[in-house]
Amino acid sequence: MSDKKESNSKKEVDEGRYTTLLEFEKNLWTHGSPIIVEKGVLENDKVSNKNRVNLKFTNIFPETIRDVYLTVIAKDPEGNVDEIDHSYKALGQKYLSTKGVAKLTIDNKDANDFKVRLDRVVFEDGRVWEKADAILEPEGDIEDIEEFAEEKLKEYEDAYKAALNYVQSDDSEHISEGIGILEKIHWYKDSDDRLNDAYKKFEAAKQNEDRKKSREDSIKKREVLVKKRFKIAMGVVIAVVILIVLSVVSFFIPNLQYGKAKKLLKDEKYVQAAKEFDDLNGFLKSEDYEAECYYNIGLDYLKKNDEEKAKKNFQKAYDADSNSEYGEVANSFLDYYRGEEALKENKIDDAYNYFKKSADSASDINLANKASAGFAQVSFVKGNYKDAWDSIQNVYSKDPKTYQAQYAQYGYEYAKQLIGKEKYKKGIEVYNKVAKLTKEQNLNEVIYNKAKAIAAKGNIAAASDLLSKISKGYPKAARLNDKMLKFDRKVKTWLGLWKHHGKVKGKKKTYRIYIKEVLYKGDMCLSITDKNNKKLGFDTVISRKNRVTQIEVTPSHIHFKLKRYDDQKFTYNKKVPNKMTRIWKYGGEKFKSKYKRKVKK
């Protein structure tokens, strides 16, 4: 706040206009915030009898702040809560400088509990500081604000260096630690760019670790198998007879177990079959059947809506034999789950890639729908409502019950976006598909009100064109459009400049009447300028809302009485095109004159 404004504000308080009702706790701040609210006051303006909040905040980050967006949360003793959003634009606020000019009006005069939430801070270089639910808390007395700022900057720098050390590691756990720190200080220095690199490095490290673990597990399985076969082979050395017996036993016993496992699989007893195949340790490629068992167990859990257990069994199917048919389709489910996790962590590009991979490889129709719906969700989060709508339509046609909410939400937002871009026909076409499925504002009503606003400015043709786009499914629009067009046709030959040539004290004089645009002011009406008498002339809208009565409008006759202009009465009669008689009644007298309309050639 400038010295001049502070002086003016102080002067007003001194003169008794403002009464201080409440002082906020000192030095409101939240971890990482580039600003600190040093002072907050609730005042009452005795002139307007309104309460207002005055905030004073300081930049404690060594970058120039351009914009600050915050919300004051006001609560009264009955629990009613109001949120007052405010933005300080084009501040140019330097390091350690203080601002706080705007006053925030508080409509609820009973509010006595106030909190300040910092929503967003934009720096001059375009970087953005944001933090979810960033409620500012009191820091208590601060002796030196510059020392406070330097202390916080050191914390950010120490955290930044620690994060860089973590992400230099090749271990995914350490990289994850670094990512967690960078996410908390994403606005500091180049943390945002470092984050993107760290995400990629984390994925690469995780994949390497998974591959390494898979190889180690495979080696262990082979070692177990080799040991078993070695024991069998050692038996051969004992005696030829024992060799023959053991050879027969070593094949027929596993073969009997293998047959038992296959029968269990055929009978769809997948849990028992999986255990039997697992015990065979790869006998006659039993891993392939083991993967099939776990895949079907996963599907059974999906039918029970137990996604977590389904996911675990799909992972077991993939681990049993990743290259088998069922290992690959299980992995398509796992890609879908990876996409969901990435979306929760706001890793939009990763989510997109996982959903795409899942959809491309899915053989299960439910998975294909889920992956496509994931596509749609990613597009919606990115604000690409068209792609979200295009994707969800196909999914909804196959499973309307499951995806009705997404279909309605994405369709409504896309329709709203189209209408905002004045693509009304397409917007209403999309809206009509979801109108019965959403409780959001009726977009037909939005267009209807826009058309009324256009008509109020005199552009009846544009308003009519807009109404015609929704008339079919919105009877109110059809009625208004018909009313507008009928009135427009009725008065079309009245519009324009009308002239009368006469003499005043021997000198020629031209009198003019200008019947202007057709307007909609709750009713259809004309705007007429008739200033032929300096004292009693008028320029007004012929509408009851404008204190005009006795209104009659036909293709050949216009009559009205001006209550605001000394109860003058006017009648315009037109028997032939472009010629009319003007009858003016005032003060018990009647004056008649003839006018011609100027016609453009």
Q: Which long-range contacts (CB under 8 A, 24 or more apart) does 391-396 make?
A: 395/369
Report yes or no on 108 lying in a domain.
yes
Report yes or no on 61 lying in a domain.
yes
Terminal CA-CA length for the chain: 62
Can you state the percent helix, strand and coil of the chain, rounding each to 5?
Answer: 50, 25, 25
Confidence of residue 244 (pLDDT cuts 50, 70, 90): very low
Please determine, for residue 282, whether its predicted confidence score (pLDDT) is greater than 60.
no
- Mean pLDDT of the residues in the chain: 85
Domain stop point among 108, 142, 176:
142
Q: 37-52 pLDDT, tens per residue?
A: 999 999 998 888 889 9
Domain stop point among 142, 163, 178:
142
**What is the token pair recorded at 35?**
């600003």
Confidence of residue 101 (pLDDT cuts 50, 70, 90): low
Confidence of residue 231 (pLDDT cuts 50, 70, 90): low
Report the CATH number at residue 110.
2.60.40
Report yes or no on 167 lying in a domain.
no
Instruction: Look up the pTM and report it.
Output: 0.45
Q: Are 455 and 463 in contact (CB under 8 A)?
A: yes
The domain tally of the chain equals 2
SS3 108: coil
Count, residues in the chain: 601
Phi, psi of 506 (to 5 degrees): 85, -5
Residue 586's contacts (CB-CB under 8 Å, 6 or more residues apart) are 536, 566, 567, 568, 569
Rounded (5°) CA angle 417-422-423:
75
Sheet of 548-554: strand order equals 538-541, 524-530, 507-520, 496-504, 589-597, 579-586, 568-576, 557-562, 548-554
Report yes or no on 77 lying in a domain.
yes
Q: 123-151 pLDDT, tens per residue?
A: 998 889 988 889 999 988 998 999 999 98
Domain stop point among 95, 114, 142:
142
| pLDDT at position 123 | 93
Q: Which long-range contacts (CB under 8 A, 24 or more apart) does 268-276 make?
A: 268/296, 270/294, 270/296, 270/297, 270/300, 271/297, 274/316
SS3 24: coil
Report yes or no on 527 lying in a domain.
yes
Please determine, for residue 225, whether its predicted confidence score (pLDDT) is greater than 50.
yes
Q: Are 30 and 136 in contact (CB under 8 A)?
A: yes
Rounded (5°) CA angle 414-417-418:
90
Domain hosting 504: range is 495-597
Report yes or no on 428 lying in a domain.
no
Counting residues of the chain whose pLDDT is more than 70, the rounded percentage is 90
Q: 160-214 pLDDT, tens per residue?
A: 888 898 888 888 888 898 898 888 888 788 888 888 888 888 888 888 888 888 8
